[in-house]
A = this chain, B = another copy of it.
Amino acid sequence: MNENKLDRRVKYTRTMLKNALVQLMKQQHISTISVKALCELADINRSTFYAHYNDQNDLLHQMEEEVMDDLRWHLKDVLPQSFDDKAPVLVLTRIFEYAKENSELFQVLLGENSDYLFQKDVIELSQIVSSRNNDNTLDARTKDYIVEFRTAGCISIFQKWLKEGTIESSDEMSNLVGRLL
């Protein structure tokens, strides 16, 4: 937020560290990444790192929050409408679009070397879409399980799509997911 009114040096430091984190997380789990390795790859002094972040996780979480904020900003004009009937697929398309434009980042943040926090954020966002269910013959608990089933299924498709290079278009993907739900 208001990253642009920051000192260039600060911007540079944080950018290099974030990039380094993404590169390392392609190879290893977040909690096995040392601050030392991170700083060496980013060519940033270790004491500078600690001036910005507490540890690797802190850096990851700040990245996650920034991405989510940015994503929500990109959805701002479709989200309020999402409670009528046609909007869900529109929201989905937008999410897939945004993810495709930032696929390297999304692949890492949603991949198995990350923590579950980002995944939870995305789930929360997409439950607006996947939780609509007007079958009243089912009890509440069964419905809960169904929502769980659906959202996990969606996320998993999302991950597969990212991992395999976002071959399909955003439209194709949102249609596929829309049909499955």
Contacts and interface: CB of A to CB of B under 8 A. Distances in A.
A41 interface: no
Contact of A148 (B29, B151, B157): B157
Contacts of A156: 148-149, 151-153
A95 to B, nearest CB: 16
Chain A at the B interface: mostly helix, strand, loop or mixed?
Answer: helix
A112 B86 CA distance: 34
A176 interface: yes
A150 B153 CA distance: 6
A56 B70 CA distance: 37
Contacts of A157: 145, 148-149, 152
B29 A176 contact: no
A149 B153 contact: yes
A154 interface: yes
A56 to B, nearest CB: 11
B31 A145 contact: no
A110 to B, nearest CB: 12
A156 B157 CA distance: 14
Contacts of A144: 160
A116 interface: yes
Contacts of A168: 141
A153 B151 CA distance: 8
A142 B172 CA distance: 10
A116 B115 CA distance: 12
Contact of A153 (B32, B142, B152, B161): B152
Contacts of A151: 156
Given A112-B115, A145-B157, A148-B156, 19 more contacts: A29-B115, A31-B32, A112-B116, A144-B160, A145-B160, A145-B176, A146-B180, A148-B157, A148-B160, A149-B153, A149-B154, A149-B156, A149-B157, A149-B180, A152-B153, A152-B155, A152-B156, A152-B157, A153-B156
